[in-house]
Amino acid sequence: MNKLPFIVALLTAHAALGQVGYRSVQNNQPVKKAYDSTVNVENIKCQFDPASMIGQEFYFAQRSPYFKGYAKQDTTFKDFFSDKQTSLQGVAGNPAKEASRSGPSISYAGIPIAKIKLPAATAKKTNDVLSNLYKPIYIQHSSYSGEAVTPYSALENRTFTVTGWEILKEEDNLCQTQVTLKDADGEKVQWKIYGRRESGIAVFTKGYLEKLKQTWVNKPVYFIEESFAPSSFYNPLDKQTLGYVQGSKWQCTELTFLFDENFFGKLHLILRNDAQKEIAVQIDDRGSLDKQLSLFYIWSEERYLAVKQKEKAEQEAALAKEEADKKQLQKDIKAYRESMIKQFGTANGNIIADGKVKMGMNQNMCEAAWGYPSDRVKTQVGAHVIETWFYYPAGSWLKFQDGKLIQIKE
């Protein structure tokens, strides 16, 4: 069998393959920036570099004890998965319980948090349940069904460190992220964030809270000076409606979670003026119907001084322009007067430059003094040509006979 054609074909193919290369196309995807602590968890979409989220700390806030309609039951979740498996034990008539507990008055990152009593969550079951949820409890829905869930009390007032940050899906209006958190005992939790504000959860990054404190606390604050500023606002500290004085100066004394009838305490800045009046300014104005002030209506001292410096510069520029315009006007008037004197002589030129006319002036002089008329009416009276110039809307007129001014109506 002649193998020569086969060998030639193989060598040809190998040579052709050797001529095929690889080339990279430039990646036009924007470079993700590092997390800068300017936004909180619900606004961390896909715009930040996942690597910059590693080491961040998540703090789950306390619920308000004053929430209207509080049903003495824990908020529960089914999307916090632990790296440990928990066996939930209990028998009929002796159900497993999450103990009721009271937390002492504490603070987080220097932010005071009020005392709150956490209600019990019960479970009724006849068999043990294995669960991969974080700190699970078992809830009996009926005689035949139930489920394991993570109670919010297992997260409440606790800090978790981010050890993993994976973007699962990224589209124009959607960002799905899987976060790995580690608690103080080293237990890891996986939590999927779906790019929206999670219902029943109040979580903050430590960096965000620290950034707020660095920006505002123990620093002067000013009410904005804008046309859209409110005329009054509601102060939740004394439940009074107060007048909003633009440009008024306050001192920010603290950043605090303020408990009210909402499910969670809301972050507020506490401001105090020279009269020792205290008001609360909320960080997040979503869901507020009582006309509270938010960060949108206050300026830091840096911003206030920048605005004032800009206003001063604009005023100085306007004054400089006004002065320059005056000087230019004086030059123009002088040049115009000289032009009229040169054209009509000293006596008539000065009169015309002052915008006046006198009997006997010709039409050129009058036009130079009063300007072109709105209307002209010419008639023949015997041997004389009578022409009248009308100036509207002033109602003034000039009458000429044979080109010379004979009558003036000012």
* pLDDT tens column, 326-346: 999 999 999 999 999 999 999
Angle between helices 346-353 and 363-370 in degrees, nearest 10: 30
C-alpha dihedral, 199 to 202 to 205 to 206, nearest 10°: -170
Spell out the residues 6+ positions from residue 116 whose beta carbon is closer than 8 angstroms to its own.
62, 63, 64, 65, 102, 103
CA distance 200 to 391: 77
Residue with tokens 């006004």: 322
Rounded CA gap, 388 and 373, in Å? Answer: 9
Greatest mean pLDDT among 116-125, 189-198, 265-274 lies in 265-274
Report whether pLDDT(15) > 60. no
pLDDT of amino acid 119: 37
Question: Going by C-beta distance under 8 Å and a sequence separation of 6 or more, which residues neighbour residue 357?
Answer: 351, 365, 366, 369, 370, 398, 405, 408
CA angle (251, 256, 258) in 5-degree steps: 115
Span 180-205, mean pLDDT? Answer: 86
With cut-offs at 50, 70 and 90, classify the pLDDT of residue 288: low
pLDDT, tens only, 366-383? 999 999 999 999 999 999
Task: Give the per-residue pLDDT at 42.
Answer: 84
What is the C-alpha to C-alpha distance for residues 45 and 175, in angstroms, rounded to an integer?
A: 6
- On whether the CB atoms of residues 271 and 253 are closer than 8 A, the answer is yes
**Is 244 a residue whose pLDDT tops 70?**
yes
195 pLDDT band (50/70/90 cuts)?
A: low
> Is 50 exceeded by the pLDDT of residue 113?
no
Separation of alpha carbons 126 and 226, rounded Å: 66
Q: Are 45 and 175 in contact (CB under 8 A)?
A: yes
Place of tokens 């123009």: 332
Range with lowest mean pLDDT among 10-14, 82-86, 305-309: 10-14
Q: What is the pLDDT of residues 345-359, one digit of tens each?
A: 999 999 999 999 999
The per-residue pLDDT of the chain, averaged, comes to 84
CA pair distance 228, 297, nearest whole angstrom:
9
How far apart CA 257 and CA 270 sit, in angstroms, is: 10
* Window from 47-56, 101-110, 119-128, 277-286 with minimum mean pLDDT: 101-110
- Determine the pLDDT at residue 342: 95
**Predicted pLDDT at 94:** 39
**CA distance linking residue 285 with residue 283, whole number of Å:** 7
Mean pLDDT of all residues in 246-264: 91
- What pLDDT score does 147 carry? 86
Quick one: average pLDDT of 213-240? 95
Q: Where are the beta strands (DSSP E) in 95-157?
A: 97-98, 101-102, 106-108, 111-113, 117-118, 121-122, 129-133, 137-140, 146-151
Instruction: Report yes or no: 254 and 270 within 8 Å, Cβ to Cβ.
Output: yes
pLDDT at residue 363 greater than cutoff 90: yes
pLDDT by residue (tens digit) across 382-405?
999 999 999 998 889 999 999 999
Closest CA to 206 of 195, 214, 198: 214
